[in-house]
Amino acid sequence: MAKAMQGKYLESFIQMLRSEKYYSPHTCSNYSRDLEYFSRFLLKNNVSHWPEVNYSLVSSYAAFRFRNGLKSRSIQRELSSIRSFYQHLIRQGLVKSNPAKEVRAPKSEQRLPKICDTEQIEQLLHSGDINDPIFIRDLAIFELIYSSGLRLAELVSIDFGDIDFSQRLLVVTGKGNKTRYLPVGTKAINAIRRWLKIRQEFIRDPAETALFLSRLGNRISARNVQSRLNRLVSQQSLDQHLSPHTLRHSFATHLLESSGDLRAVQELLGHADISTTQIYTHLDFQHLAKVYEAAHPRAKRRS
């Protein structure tokens, strides 16, 4: 059953995500995997066609995944994949209603994103060999992520011509093929200019348009960026689980702490829904609570 379903409706759904929604290969792979798990569950329950699925089956699947240790957030993602797939089947005329529409995963505690404080950022970005071409490139990469709140996929896709140095402006294409314009800070601009002075040393193909290049002269990969950050973190004896996304979280949190403008942070991060951005208000409150406890005479704890 699973193969038959994938051979027609699943493949057309994934193709639609690629060609119409412009989802990344990684995102499409996640959708495909989620629906493969679901189709296997249906097979074990003697369901052989997508129109046979009802609310009870989808709800049972969510409960089954929960009993097997899957986190609530992951179950929510799988249910979202199933809902999106059935919306596709409705448009195809195969089914009339969405059996996953009302199914909800059990609520879980909201996990706050990990961030670096400003001192850690300073230590991370200003403790390398300024004469090492690789470090010069890495510094430009991480300064830019922190300066503009970039996703890793957005960072590696930047071309040489995407930065306007006179306006200190960067154009990026984010999720759903949406374009946004981002300011670039002075330190990031200076770091990128230092990188551009030696970029030609990495070039193998004169037609290469990528801003950041690997040792082989190709567009740098996401895996390479993460590996370089791991190396830098290890050298500085910082958190071993620091990721490029941590720099993006830090950008958002530090900006919100200083400005208090949630809507602006939403626009800069490229979030379609402000509810996604509201996670940073929890971090901002934690920061304010610490300031309050340290400063207010009625809040100070006795030693």
Contact 70, 117 (CB under 8 A): no
Q: Determine the average pLDDT of the residues in 11-37.
A: 92
How far, in Å, CA of 203 to CA of 199, rounded? Answer: 7
Query: pLDDT at position 2, please?
Result: 43
Q: Taking the CA of residue 225 as centre, how many other CA atoms within 13 Å lie in the half-sphere pointing to its CB?
A: 25
CA dihedral for 78, 84, 88, 94, sign (positive or negative): positive
| Share above pLDDT 70 across residues of the chain, in percent, rounded to a whole number | 87
What's the pLDDT tens digit per position in 139-160? 999 999 999 999 999 999 999 8
Question: How much is the pLDDT for 223?
Answer: 95
Q: Which residues are catalytic?
A: 151, 175, 245, 248, 271, 280
- The predicted structure's pLDDT at residue 42: 92
- State the average pLDDT over residues 282-288: 60
Mean pLDDT of the chain: 86
Q: Within its chain, how far is the Cα of 106 from the centroid?
A: 23
Residue 300: pLDDT band by 50, 70, 90 thresholds? Answer: low
pLDDT at 301: 56
The residue assigned the tokens 């950008």 is 251
CA angle 221, 224, 225 (to 5 degrees): 90
List domains and CATH numbers for the chain: 2-92 (1.10.150.130), 118-293 (1.10.443.10)
Q: Is the pTM of this model over 0.85?
A: no
Is the pLDDT confidence value at 299 over 80? no
Residue 87 pLDDT exceeds 80: yes
pLDDT for position 260: 77
Angle between helices 72-92 and 55-67 (to 10 degrees): 150
Reported confidence tier of residue 1, pLDDT bands at 50, 70, 90:
very low
pLDDT digits (tens, 9 = 90+) for 189-219: 999 999 999 999 999 999 999 999 999 999 9
pLDDT digits 0-9 by tens, 94-129 = 999 999 998 887 666 566 678 888 888 888 888 777
Name the nearest CA neighbour of 130 among 118, 143, 117.
Answer: 143
Helix, strand, coil share of the chain (percent; to 5): 60, 5, 35
Contact 95, 89 (CB under 8 A): yes
Reported as a pLDDT band with limits 50, 70 and 90, residue 303 is very low
Distance CA 237, CA 134 (A): 19
pLDDT score of 291: 57
Whether pLDDT at 270 is above 90? no
**For residue 6, what pLDDT is reported?**
44
Q: What is the pLDDT at residue 125?
A: 85
